[in-house]
């Protein structure tokens, strides 16, 4: 495992721990407002770091193809999870407005990028 891959998996594991602590599904601890704010800021900074700053560099066509497949798989996983969340919350009548907003933003970004790419060629 290369050093960059180890760093990426470490950041992902740390992000999972922070998200799990933030969500606290088993109601193990009851943090006060300052702890929740600190966890939320840490989760947001880690997510931005993992998503935008920690970017790998593609060298040849094969590596570019791997990046494109990873991006497509991540997009499809995000759409799937958000769609299931939309269905679940819709049936329980407790719909969080960020779920459909995020779905629309993802689809709008995909359509805008495809339209731009096709018009540039």
What is the tens place of the pLDDT at every residue in 9-59?
888 888 888 888 888 777 777 778 888 888 888 888 888 888 777 766 667
Which residues, other chains included, contact 86 with Cβ-Cβ below 8 Å and sequence gap of 6+?
95, 99, 100, 103
pLDDT at 56: 64
Q: Do 109 and 73 share a structural domain?
A: yes
Residue 2 has pLDDT above 80, yes or no: no
Positive/negative CA dihedral, 56, 59, 62, 68: positive
Q: Do 67 and 32 share a structural domain?
A: no
How confident is the model over 80-115, as pLDDT tens digits? 999 999 999 988 988 888 989 999 999 999 998 888
Q: Do 102 and 77 share a structural domain?
A: yes
Q: How many Cα neighbours within 13 Å face the side chain of 95?
A: 13
Q: Strand, helix or coil at 88?
A: helix
**CB atoms near residue 47 (< 10 Å):** 14
Question: In which band, very low, low, confident or very high, does the pLDDT at 1 lie, cut at 50, 70 and 90?
Answer: low
Q: Do 121 and 73 share a structural domain?
A: yes
Q: Do 64 and 43 share a structural domain?
A: no
**Which two tokens mark 61?**
């066509």
Q: Do 74 and 51 share a structural domain?
A: no
Residue ranges making up the domain that contains 25: 1-55
Q: How many domains does the chain have?
A: 2
Q: Do 107 and 83 share a structural domain?
A: yes
Q: Cα separation of 25 and 56, whole Å?
A: 33
**Which two tokens mark 99?**
């779920």
Q: Do 63 and 40 share a structural domain?
A: no
Q: Cα separation of 13 and 17, whole Å?
A: 6
pLDDT at 55: 66
Q: Do 98 and 77 share a structural domain?
A: yes
Question: If you average pLDDT over residues 63-68, what whole number do you get?
Answer: 84
């Amino acid at each position: 495992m290369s050093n960059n891959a180890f760093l990426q998996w470490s950041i992902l594991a740390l992000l999972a721990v922070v998200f799990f602590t933030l969500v606290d599904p088993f109601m193990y601890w009851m943090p006060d407002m300052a702890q929740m704010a600190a966890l939320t800021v840490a989760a947001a900074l880690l997510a931005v770091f993992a998503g935008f700053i920690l970017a790998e560099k593609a060298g040849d066509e094969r590596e570019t193809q791997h990046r494109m497949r990873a991006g497509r798989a991540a997009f499809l996983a995000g759409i799937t999870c958000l769609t299931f969340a939309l269905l679940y919350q819709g049936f329980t009548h407790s719909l969080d407005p960020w779920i459909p907003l995020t779905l629309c933003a993802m689809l709008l970004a995909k359509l805008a990028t495809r339209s731009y790419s096709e018009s540039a060629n």
